[in-house]
Amino acid sequence: MLKYVYIILYLVLFTFININLTSADNRALVLATTTSVDSSGLLKHLLSKVKEQTDIKLNVVVRGTGAVLNLGIRGDVDIVLTHDRISEDTFIKNNHGSLIKDVMSSHYMIVGPDNDPAKIAGLLNVSTAFNLIANTNTLFLSRGDNSGTHKTEILFWNKSGVNPKLWSGKWYRETGSGMGATLNMASVLGGYLITESGSWFSFGNRGKLTILMDQIAPNPYRIILVNPEKHPHVLVNDALSFINWLTGPIGQNIIDNYEVKGNKPYTSASKIKTIFR
């Protein structure tokens, strides 16, 4: 009997979600974006400006880049804001998105304990640093969540010639969590990790963590309109209004002037077009 009750509840819930998702009547625009945009505080700042300056009703889902793009593939959201160019290009190539625009960039860095047991501080080559971390069996925290930051980390491991998966659960630990949670774990355990400027500048529980290698790579973000030909319920007009606002002079100026504790973690695409070529 209980089994049938669960089935009925599931069907009711599924129907409710489906109706809300596919109906354009009075539905808010749904943006999916990454945990780094959220943990930096920029998302909250942008939402307040959208409410203040536009008539766009906007709801937001926060996930890692891989999960965000999967939401777009399924048509569960109208627009996605992510930071993994390879995955984004594949998304467009497979016709899941009909429009893509550059938004901004932060930058990646390696942070770790201030006593730096692997002695990577000041190095200019990430491959050298990763080999030192591996050779000394020093704790490294990976997000392990298919996010843009995680994928960038994996690219660096591949270039270093080290397969950290061979030591998974030992000195290499995957948190399966967002940037904030992974930074917290690194702070508590005294491990190394890759993070990006937006998340780092806003992170308060640093403990003995410090920047050991800065500006190791740019971290460009792009916004994509989910293809309305595949998902007719996509709110095209509202989506285009938001995209044009964010990538236009007003949105770009907001990004350039956003500060966290006196630092400006993001630079608008309008000022760094060479990164996006």
Nearest residue to 217 via CA among 114, 83, 117: 83
Nearest residue to 97 via CA among 70, 61, 73: 73
Q: 2-106+221-276 falls under which CATH superfamily?
A: Periplasmic binding protein-like II (3.40.190.10)
Q: What is the pTM of this model?
A: 0.85
Residues of CATH 3.40.190.10 domain(s) within the chain?
2-106+221-276, 108-218
Nearest residue to 145 via CA among 43, 36, 218, 276: 36
Phi, psi of 272 (to 5 degrees): -135, 50
| The CATH fold of domain 108-218 | D-Maltodextrin-Binding Protein; domain 2 (3.40.190)
Classified as helix, coil or strand, 103 is: strand
Q: pLDDT by residue (tens digit) across 211-266? A: 999 999 999 999 999 999 999 999 999 999 999 999 999 999 999 999 999 999 99
Cα–Cα distances in Å, from 218 out to 58, 83, 104, 269? 28, 10, 10, 12
Q: Give yes or no for residue 50 having a pLDDT over 50.
A: yes
Nearest residue to 56 via CA among 87, 30, 90: 30
